[in-house]
Amino acid sequence: MLEIPLSDADWARVESLFPVPAPSRGRPRRSDRDILNAILWLQLRKEKWHRLPATFPPQQTCYLRYIGWKRTGILKQVNEILMVGEFEL
């Protein structure tokens, strides 16, 4: 079974799926790995967004990235590589 946080080996398998963000001003961008850990934690435990522990990035940040990754198919590819299960949050 997949463990959260992702091991370095599991992250290395999916890291290339995530686009390199363009440099920007303002607040630093949250790590894709941290966001993915939060999404996988929710998905594996079948929890709701409001139950996301404070040890993860803010739920709004995670949800917005989740929507974008789901729309572009990144989460489906992560699912196929890590064999997690369907992403239906």
More confident residue, 87 or 34: 34
Give the 3-state secondary structure of residue 80: helix
Give the pLDDT mean for 52-64.
Answer: 97
Q: What per-residue confidence (pLDDT) applies to 86?
A: 62
Report, as an integer, the average pLDDT of 4-24.
93
Task: Average the pLDDT over 49-69 and give the result.
Answer: 97
Q: What is the number of alpha carbons within 13 Å of residue 56 lying toward its C-beta?
A: 25
Determine which helix (DSSP H) or strand (DSSP E) holds 37, and give its type and residue range.
helix 32-45
Reported pTM: 0.90
Q: pLDDT band for 50, please (50, 70, 90 cuts).
A: very high
